[in-house]
Amino acid sequence: MNKFKRSSLFPLILFLSAFLFYIFYEDLTVPVQPRNNDLVRVIRIYDGDTIGILFGQKEERVRLIGIDAPEVGQRPWGKRAKKYMEGILDESDWKVRLEFDIELRDKYNRLLAYVWTEDGRMINLLMLENGFAMLFTVPPNLKYIESLKVAQKKARQRGIGIWGKNGLKQRPFEYRKEQDEKNLIY
């Protein structure tokens, strides 16, 4: 073999090796995610917009797309939102389906999903419709934006939950920001 053929063969061998490694070992480096419409078990409620699911042998945090519920420390609405979520999950035997949008995870590595009960009710929508959360959209995850807007509008018009007379005094993101500032060490 002449020098030219040997030197052009090396990149080809390197490319094929990398390609085969990628094909056979790709699943070891990329975390497996639930597929849309897989039924998963909820094992924990963090608050009115974040749950923990069991996927395989691992717990995954799931942030409900399109809503922002009061934090547990925002009394009394944080605990009420969490309790309402618990009631929905009790009715669904703590089994839900996840539906993903454009972005799969947020900056905290939580799965982002529309969460559906086994009987087809969207929990994100129920939280808004019954006044236990407020609309919170983050593009590009906007698949159900119009339905979510209508749900919040109904709750506000009826003056229920956080929109009622003794409703929420501070938006959840403002509360989180305030808490973060209090916890800063100078």
Q: Which residues are catalytic?
A: 63, 71, 110
| Paired strand residues for 47 | 50
Phi, psi of 98 (to 5 degrees): -105, 140
Helices within 66-163 (DSSP H only): 77-91, 123-129, 145-158
Which tokens sit at 105?
Answer: 């995870």
Question: Of 72, 60, 63, which Cα lies nearest the Cα of 101?
Answer: 63
Question: Of 58, 134, 47, 55, which Cα lies nearest the Cα of 98?
Answer: 55
